[in-house]
Amino acid sequence: MSTHAFLSPSASHRWLVCPPSAKLCAKATDQSSEYAKQGTDAHSLCAYLIEKALGRDVSDPTENLDYYDQEMQQCAEGYADFVIEEYGKTRQSCGDAEVMVEQKVDFSRWVKGGTGTADCIILSDGTAEVIDFKYGLGIMVSADSEEHGGNPQLMCYCLGVLEMFDGIYDIDTLKMVIYQPRRENVSIYTMSKTELLRWAEDILAPTALLAAEGKGEFKAGTHCQFCRAKATCRKRAEYNLELAKYDFEMPDELEDYEIDDILMKVDQLTAWASDVKEYALNQALLGVDYSHFKVVEGRSNRKYTSEEDVAQAVTDAGYDPYEKKLLGITAMAALLGKKKFEELLGGMVYKPPGKPTLVSKSDRRLALKNTAQTDFKE
Ligand code: SF4
């Protein structure tokens, strides 16, 4: 297997933290998820809409998209508008600004076999902007990161951009943008060329070398959820099972600082446990015999054999088999379109306060006032 297959920019946030994961992942089979296929379709639509807006000769891919729907259309249109707006702003200061869509970039000077495809690049004198479209909903993606400054995937693309275009545009600043419409997230981070090249030399290149050779330290953390070895990795198991130490710690009840410690890990712990369960089920279905576990048929609910036949039978008997329900907000917005929705229903939509939820202090939401404590004091 070539190094390029596993030292990909999109997985760089993982292999930069846990270099040997790259080789471990390369051994596992690549099962492209439904979400990934949906993302690929959305990217095709995005690329088409930008090229079309720029007046280029492109063909509409819509009829070949398996996952195309109204939401995808709206997200892609929003993204294309954003790109064109960014391009317009750039052109005000640089008449030679250029937009590249789905541009292959090569940063193999630092990462052996390192290539990738940047969704969109806007080039102008002094600045290169790399815009990455994320169709995923699950995780909010940021253009910056604590460990590297910027998002490492975008930083790899920016290195590729420097390799190709620095000579032509004399780039000194790199602007990285994540556009994630389904989370209403537009995240921007700017970095100088000097900073980027220093990171590439000091961090990226040496770590990529370790990763390519399967060397370096295993390190578990939130990045494990994107690792193909996540169910069987020993390091991740050790990391999560560290919680077992609370079984034999001295006091009978946990102190607040210990609860704090557990809360820090509990999401990862439950994610790990369900990854192991899912893996074990698949293995058992393939014939692996676990001494304490067996596969049985899960619970199921009764179903109609044919909804049409049921509706007909109930209607013939003189009853109405259907219930009438108001469309939900998302479906209603899709039916009416954003503008009409605002016009007709803007004043009839409200957001009730959410249930109190315990989250990490790094979460951007403001902390709720502790009402129980205040009441008590009063
Ligand atoms: S599961 Fe986590 S610790 Fe294990 S190889 Fe993957 S990223 Fe590294």
**Is the shortest distance between the CB of 21 and ligand 1 below 6 Å?**
yes
Q: What is the pLDDT of residues 286-299, one digit of tens each?
A: 999 999 999 999 99
Question: Is the distance from CB of 284 to CB of 295 less than 8 angstroms?
Answer: yes
The region of weakest confidence among 75-84, 178-187, 351-360, 364-373 is 364-373
Any ligand 1 atom below 6 A from CB of 17: no
Of 218, 223, 268, 275, which is best to mutate to test ligand 1, by the most ligand atoms within 8 angstroms of its C-beta?
Answer: 218
Residue 95: inside a domain, yes or no? yes
Residue 26: what pLDDT?
Answer: 83
* pLDDT exceeds cutoff 80 at 189: yes
Phi-psi region of 143 (alpha: psi -120 to 50; beta: other; left: phi over 0): alpha
- Dist. CA 114 → ligand 1 center (Å): 21
Domain extent at residue 262: 230-285
C-alpha 291: how far from chain center: 37
3-state secondary structure the chain: CCHHHHCCHHHHHHHCCCCCHHHHHHHCCCCCCHHHHHHHHHHHHHHHHHHHHCCCCCCCCHHHCCCCCHHHHHHHHHHHHHHHHHHHHHHHHCCCCEEEEEEEEECCCCCCCCEEEEEEEEECCCEEEEEEECCCCCCCCCCEECCCEECHHHHHHHHHHHHHHHHHHCCCEEEEEEEEHHHCEEEEEEEEHHHHHHHHHHHHHHHHHHHHCCCCCCCCCHHHHHCCCCCCCHHHHHHHHHHHHHHHCCCCCCCHHHHHHHHHHHHHHHHHHHHHHHHHHHHHHCCCCCCCCCCCCCCCCCCCCCHHHHHHHHHHCCCCCCCCCCCCHHHHHHHHCHHHHHHHHHHHCCCCCCCCCCCCCCCCCCCCCCHHHHHHHC
| pLDDT for residue 196 | 97
Q: How many A from CA of 286 to the centre of ligand 1?
A: 24
Does 139 share its domain with 63? yes
Task: Check if the beta carbon of residue 7 is closer than 8 Å to that of residue 113.
Answer: yes
Q: What is the pLDDT of residue 225?
A: 87
pLDDT in tens, 115-172: 999 999 999 999 999 999 999 988 899 999 988 999 999 999 999 999 999 988 889 9
Q: Is the CB of 15 under 6 A from ligand 1?
A: no
**Is 236 found in the same domain as 205?**
no
* Residue 208 contacts residue 114 (beta carbons within 8 Å): yes
191 pLDDT exceeds 70?
A: yes
- When divided into structural domains, the chain yields a total of 2
pLDDT attached to residue 135 = 96
Q: Whose CA is nearest to atom 2 of ligand 1?
A: 224
Residues 29 and 155 in one domain: yes
How far is ligand 1, taken at its centre, from the CA of residue 329, in Å?
Answer: 40
Check if the beta carbon of residue 116 is closer than 8 Å to that of residue 156: yes
Average pLDDT over residues 15-23: 94
**223 CB near ligand 1 (under 6 Å):** yes
Instruction: Please check whether residues 245 and 127 belong to one and the same domain.
Output: no
| Per-residue pLDDT at 371 exceeds 70 | no
In a domain, residue 221? The reply is no
Check pocket membership of 240 for ligand 1, CB cut-off 6 A: no
Does ligand 1 come within 6 angstroms of the Cβ of 224? yes
Nearest atom in ligand 1 to 220's CA: 3
Q: What is the CATH number of the domain that holds 161?
A: 3.90.320
Residue range 189-198: mean pLDDT, rounded: 97
Nearest atom (ligand 1) to Cα of 228: 6
* Token pair for 220: 């578990």
Instruction: Tell me the mean pLDDT in the region 3-23.
Output: 86
Whether residue 143 is found in the same domain as residue 271: no
Examine the fold and report which residue of 263, 285, 307 is the final residue of a domain before the chain moves on: 285
More confident residue, 262 or 143: 143
Instruction: Note whether 243 and 147 are same-domain residues.
Output: no
pLDDT category at 376 given cuts 50, 70, 90 is very low
Mean pLDDT calculated for residue range 225-244: 85
- Average pLDDT of 216-225? 91
Amino acid 82: pLDDT: 97
Binned at pLDDT 50, 70 and 90, residue 3 comes out as very low
Residues 153 and 25 in one domain: yes
Return the residue whose CA atom lies nearest to atom 1 of ligand 1: 230
- pLDDT (average), residues 178-193: 96
Confidence of residue 222 (pLDDT cuts 50, 70, 90): confident
Yes or no: say if 174 and 195 are a contact pair by the CB < 8 Å rule.
Answer: no
Regarding whether 240 and 136 lie in a shared domain, the answer is no
As a whole number of angstroms, the distance between CA 27 and CA 229 comes to 9
Q: What percent of the chain has pLDDT over 70?
A: 92
